[in-house]
Chain A
Amino acid sequence: AQSVTQLGSHVSVSEGALVLLRCNYSSSVPPYLFWYVQYPNQGLQLLLKYTSAATLVKGINGFEAEFKKSETSFHLTKPSAHMSDAAEYFCAVSDSRGKLIFGQGTELSVKP
């Protein structure tokens, strides 16, 4: 069965610092992988997705993620954090029937 583990329920970085949010997945089939962002009292917005094309995926707001099959990882990065990046981030994997399985979420705080 597919599953997703996000390491760290809360990550804090300084403005201008590297953002690294970790996601490991388990899948018995070639996975589709997603990162979503949720701002307070909002729905989830798609940041980027991996669908077996390029392993380095670029998304909105300067975020990118790299699919590493050998490590079963799909970590989200951004070179320089901005205050507006403070939000909750969800990693998700699509199971063999097409249903999205979400991780527990990682709350990102950005300090001035």
Chain B
Amino acid sequence: ETGVTQTPRHLVMGMTNKKSLKCEQHLGHNAMYWYKQSAKKPLELMFVYNFKEQTENNSVPSRFSPECPNSSHLFLHLHTLQPEDSALYLCASSPSKAAGGVGYTFGSGTRLTVV
């Protein structure tokens, strides 16, 4: 399988649940990103990983916990979420964090609903 794959595609969770989002890329890229996309709001960059190291955390609440065990996999662990965390969560990858001319490859996203 090629490209960036995100699982699950849809997730409904209660505020006290713990769940994880998974992102996998088979492009040989070394940088991976988590974005949040809420209705009627711009894309929000949450985290950046480059060669497995977190290089950016844009003031994301601690109830979101990222993990990057290797350059091909990225997780977003979720716990004690709020209804306003309901959104489309997008994963992206690029050859490296500094690959300005290449752009990012995005997954199809996970639609998260917090009830």
* Residues of A participating in the B interface, judged by any CB pair closer than 8 Å: 32, 34, 36, 41-46, 49, 51, 90, 92, 94-95, 97-100, 102-105
* Residues of B participating in the A interface, judged by any CB pair closer than 8 Å: 4, 6, 42-43, 48, 88, 90, 92, 94, 96-101, 103-109, 111
Closest A residue to B4 using CB positions:
A43
Q: Contacts of B6 on A, CB cut-off 8 Å?
A: 43
Q: Contacts of B88 on A, CB cut-off 8 Å?
A: 41
The reply to whether A44 and B101 contact each other, CB–CB distance below 8 Å, is: no
Complex Cα spacing A51 to B88, Å: 29
Closest B residue to A50 using CB positions:
B101
Q: Contacts of B98 on A, CB cut-off 8 Å?
A: 97-98
Q: Contacts of A99 on B, CB cut-off 8 Å?
A: 48, 97, 100
The reply to whether B103 and A49 contact each other, CB–CB distance below 8 Å, is: yes
Q: Contacts of A42 on B, CB cut-off 8 Å?
A: 108-109
The reply to whether A105 and B42 contact each other, CB–CB distance below 8 Å, is: yes
- Once A90-B43, A102-B43 are accepted as A-B contacts, the answer to whether A44 and B100 lie under 8 Å apart by CB is no
Closest B residue to A51 using CB positions:
B101
